[in-house]
Amino acid sequence: MKMKFLKHIYLAVLVLFLSTTGCETALEENIVSGVTAEYLSTPVGFVAGVNGSYKFLRDYYGDEDGCEISIFGTDEFTNGGHGGAQDINKYRAGLNAESGTFWDPWNKLYQAINACNAVIGRAPKVDLPEDEKEGMVAEVRFLRAHYYFLLVRYFGDITLTLEETTGTETEATRSPENEVYAAIIDDLNFAISKLPATQSEFGRATKWTAQHMLSMVYLTRGYTSFAESNDFNQAATLAIDVINSSDRELLDNFLNIFNIADGEGKLSHTNEQNSEILFSVQYNEDPLTNGEGNRNHLYFRPWYEVYNNGLDRALGHGYGRPWIRFRPTQWAMDNFRPLDVDSRFEKTFQTVWLYNTDRDIPDGAQVGDTAIWINTNDLDQGEVDAITSRLPGVALFGIHSNDLDEAWSWSLSENINIFPSPMKIDDNLRPSLNYTNGSRDHIVYRLAETYLIAAEAILARDGNGSAAVPYINAVRRRAAFDGMEAAMEVTASDITLDFILDERSRELYAEQKRWLDLKRTGKLIERVRAFNPDAAPNIQDYHILRPIPANQIIRTANDYGQNPGY
């Protein structure tokens, strides 16, 4: 079932404790809707506080600002032609401390942390059975670690506070990254020791959720200047234990991870709950509790309805409302080849749109015929002629710059509004075609990533990929077309850090991970310069950190400090 408690979080008292450390105007009220602060210390209020701590995940995952800082300016994505913070992708002057793209996540993540601190701090006074209470505190400590882990990777040295802020604070200091990592690890170790292996409500953190995340924390710290000698081994050991000991397993078909239709084609949120998912952010269709919802269905969609008559914006598979924010780079498309061996291109992207209205439809065409075709093959002029004569009025695009004669069409690299659309973000449960507040869950952690963490940690630990081969091949075999499993397998000599990053892109494309992957591995500058021509001229070494938001600096009475280069 969907997490029932999410339907009630907007009546919870967490708003009472929302403050951004060091900001004069962050905390405004002590009473909301007649609920007093003491409510959180009651059993009912405490449970509401625990449940409400999950709400803040929605402020980052499936949110435009959260997407822009995690997706833009990588080897995987560049900007589409409509709106959005394109300067973030291009590393231009608009990428600065005044940008709301950074202030909004910073502010909301600190609100989330203070909400978690409030719950954790009140726990000793709450009259509940100790084991039950410890389990709930473990959930919140996992969430606090999660929020801090996002902040520290983007911004470096940040304010670390593990106690509730109940009044206005005008001074704040930044703690070194290593201290923030230590606090994250402490929270996650507590969570692992107290969380159950399974939860009755899908979407709550489990022991395996926390253990997967801790493996990523150790892996990330292992690349830093303050790494400890055992970090990569810890990461590998934790990830392998999740693979071998948890109840999670890879699905047989990559497509089914994201398919919210059952075997009979019926759309249902229950189909979002499968055995590969370790943790996902929960949404629902209730407008009173869903907030702005998951808006990923908007951002990755091309401007399909303007490229041919006979196409209208619509609900249904592959259509939806296009905001045209995130466009795949040429490298991202090439990375899925060979397309007849690896099924993930076919199972990730929509490349064909059919005529869905007879209004102004081209002569000779009818509803259901192909209107737009982003072709994945290298076509000669004769093949182009055959396609266009067979498909009246078709808008034909090439996925590679040399696929099509310019007299017929544009290539992807030359067109910023039309591109393959990732099907994993489709949301056809919305009540109308222009409704933006999606209800699709956002998958944060799944077992395929656990395999890839294990492989990367082993490579970093051992200096070679010999022991990493089984973990890479498990993911690649699952991705193979039937009969192509052997062709998908790799050997130790194939496994390099760049190969693992390539594999993560094929597997985790559009899942809000890429900027952090490149930053973690020290590959951000190199790969952006190599594969994102819109960003390459401007990215500088200091861009491995995001700017501390100006609002934080201005509202802090002491000198909070800015990251280098901003």
Per-residue model confidence as pLDDT tens digits over 461-489: 999 999 999 999 999 999 999 999 999 99
Least confident range of 267-271, 498-502, 549-553: 267-271
Measured N-to-C along each axis, helices 231-245 and 447-462 cross at an angle, to the nearest 10 degrees, of 150
30 exposure class (CB count in 10 Å sphere: 0-12, 13-18, 19+): exposed
Domains, the chain, with CATH or none:
298-425 (no CATH), 444-522 (1.25.40.900)
Q: What is the pLDDT of residue 143?
A: 98
- What is the rounded CA–CA span in Å between residue 412 and residue 395? 13
Q: For the chain, what percent of residues have pLDDT higher than 70? A: 90
Rg value, the chain, Cα: 24
What average pLDDT does the segment 116-137 reach? 97
Q: What is the pLDDT of residue 14?
A: 41
- What is the rounded CA–CA span in Å between residue 85 and residue 67? 10
- What is the rounded CA–CA span in Å between residue 30 and residue 109? 20
Residue 433 has pLDDT above 90, yes or no: no
384 pLDDT band, cuts 50/70/90, is: confident
CB within 8 A of 133, min separation 6: which ones? 46, 123, 126
Nearest to 115 by CA among 195, 214, 37: 37
Residue 2 has pLDDT above 70, yes or no: no
Residue 4 has pLDDT above 50, yes or no: no
What average pLDDT does the segment 112-125 reach? 96
26 pLDDT band, cuts 50/70/90, is: very low
3-state secondary structure 3-61: CHHHHHHHHCCHHHHCCCCCCCCCCCCCCECCECHHHHHCHHHHHHHHHHHCHHHHHCC
Per-residue model confidence as pLDDT tens digits over 277-303: 999 999 998 888 899 999 999 999 999
Nearest to 378 by CA among 353, 404, 355, 357: 404
Per-residue model confidence as pLDDT tens digits over 201-238: 999 999 999 999 999 999 999 999 999 999 999 999 99
Q: Extract the tokens encoding 391.
A: 């498909």
Per-residue model confidence as pLDDT tens digits over 339-356: 999 999 999 999 999 999
- What is the rounded CA–CA span in Å between residue 489 and residue 175? 44
